[in-house]
């Protein structure tokens, strides 16, 4: 059995085995899948699956469940990955400002030439352009580089 280890605070806790990895994959595909369906897919009992989910939630591996946009609405969205170079002394202020822009779906701190990558989702190219201008004009933003997503091949 393969096990994965997750460092939480200053202790290492054995949390994820092969079955847990498959369970997480199934939940990422559809977090509303019934316990019975998950149990059948994993070849486990319903009680075992419920206990695994409870353990993953209580250990912080599963922090919550969210909505994935689908169908016509999702295909009408325009998404861009925006690399952002930040003035180091203004990083906290810039992060807070980016969190306040509703079209910024995710924000990552990264290594390399840029400090942050923002995943921006907008209803149109015009809206995307306005958001990119807003990001570029934030205090602390030195420069940005944007890549518009042409097609999503898969998402987990």
Q: What is the pLDDT along the chain (156 residues), one digit of tens a residue?
A: 445 555 455 554 555 888 999 999 999 888 999 999 999 999 999 999 999 999 999 988 899 888 777 777 777 789 999 999 999 999 999 999 999 999 999 999 999 999 999 999 999 999 999 999 999 999 999 999 999 999 888 877
pTM of structure = 0.65
Domain span holding position 49:
3-58
Residue 51 pLDDT: 95
Say if residue 50 is in the same domain as residue 97: no
Let me know whether 118 and 96 are in one domain.
Answer: yes
Q: Does 153 reside within a domain?
A: no
Q: Can you give the chain as a three-state secondary structure string?
A: CCEEEEEECCEEEEEEEHHHHHHHHHHHHCCCCCHHHHHHHHCCCHHHHHHHHHHHHHCCCCCCCCCCCCHHHHHHCEEEEEEEEECHHHHHHHHHHHHCCCCEEEEEECCCCCCEEEEEEECCHHHHHHHHHHHHCCCCEEEEEEEECCCCCCCC
Same domain, 139 and 108: yes
């Amino acid at each position: 059995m393969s096990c994965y280890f997750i460092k939480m605070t200053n202790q290492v806790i054995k949390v994820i085995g092969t079955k847990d990895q498959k369970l997480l994959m199934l939940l990422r595909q559809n977090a509303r899948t019934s316990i019975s369906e998950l149990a059948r897919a994993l070849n486990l009992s319903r009680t075992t699956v419920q206990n695994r989910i409870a353990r993953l939630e209580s250990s912080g591996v599963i922090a919550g469940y969210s909505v994935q946009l689908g169908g016509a609405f999702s295909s009408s969205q325009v998404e861009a990955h925006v690399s952002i170079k930040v003035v180091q002394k203004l990083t906290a202020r810039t992060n807070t400002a980016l969190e306040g822009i509703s079209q910024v779906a995710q924000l990552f701190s990264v290594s390399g030439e840029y400090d942050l990558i923002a995943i921006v989702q907008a209803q149109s190219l015009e809206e995307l352009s306005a958001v990119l201008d807003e990001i570029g004009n934030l205090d602390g933003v030195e420069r940005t580089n944007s890549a518009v997503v042409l097609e999503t091949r898969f998402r987990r």
